């Protein structure tokens, strides 16, 4: 009887979680225009983007990585990531962008991680095809710093009936 009750609770939790995720996706798709009015994202060109990112770990070591990302629907998705060291929980992340000048934006990220996860960065758009970013991430008492540069390297491939993955 106890195993059955535990299984039912897990299934109920799973159903609730799936329902919340689907509900948030549906409402966020409907609220995109409202969110974008409050946030001012840079007018970068759509296409294939390459970036080089660096993060200075609390130990002082530097981690560098490269990425290639198709950005075919919303340029703001370039900046939808999390720079922290901890795993993001079920609550996900929320992103904000505020235009400070013609080419400078303040980006903020709040993520569901144990102890809290927040990032704040300064984005400089050098052209519609390039950017530079410096970022500081705080997870509880732990602070990491990072930077990234990115540039557009090509156009998105258009396949008949295909949808992109950036939202």
Q: How confident is the model at residue 163 (pLDDT cuts 50, 70, 90)?
A: low
Cβ neighbourhood burial of 73 (10 Å; 0-12, 13-18, 19+):
middle
pLDDT, average across residues 106-122: 85
Is 9 found in the same domain as 62?
no
* In a domain? residue 76: yes
The CA distances from residue 167 to 25, 33, 59, 87, in Å, are: 10, 13, 35, 21
Domain that holds residue 19: 2-30
pTM here? 0.67
- 11 and 55 together in one domain: no
Return the bridge partners of 107, or none. Answer: 97, 121
CA–CA separation, 4 and 61 (whole Å): 49
Average pLDDT score over the chain = 75
Model confidence pLDDT, tens digit, residues 50-73: 999 999 988 889 999 999 999 998
Q: What is the CATH number of the domain that holds 52?
A: 2.40.160
What is the rounded distance in angstroms from the CA atom of residue 118 to the CA atom of residue 95?
10
Pair 137, 88 in one domain: yes
Count: domains in the chain: 2
Q: Is residue 143 part of a domain?
A: yes
pLDDT range class, residue 16, cuts 50, 70, 90: very low
């Amino acid at each position: 009887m106890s195993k059955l009750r535990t299984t039912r609770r897990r299934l109920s939790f799973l159903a609730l979680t799936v329902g919340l995720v689907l509900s948030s996706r549906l409402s966020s798709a409907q609220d995109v225009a409202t969110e974008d009015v409050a946030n001012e994202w840079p007018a970068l060109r759509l296409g294939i983007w390459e970036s080089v990112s660096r993060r200075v770990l609390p130990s002082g070591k530097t981690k560098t990585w490269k990425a290639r990302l198709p950005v075919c629907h919303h340029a703001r998705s370039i900046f939808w990531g999390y720079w922290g060291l901890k795993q993001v929980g079920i609550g996900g992340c929320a992103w904000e962008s505020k235009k400070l000048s013609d080419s400078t934006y303040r980006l903020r990220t709040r993520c569901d991680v144990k102890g809290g996860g927040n990032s704040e960065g300064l984005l400089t758009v050098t052209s519609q095809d390039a950017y530079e970013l410096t970022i500081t991430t705080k997870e509880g008492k732990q602070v990491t710093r990072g930077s990234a540069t990115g540039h557009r390297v090509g156009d998105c491939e258009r396949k008949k009936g295909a949808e992109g993955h950036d939202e």
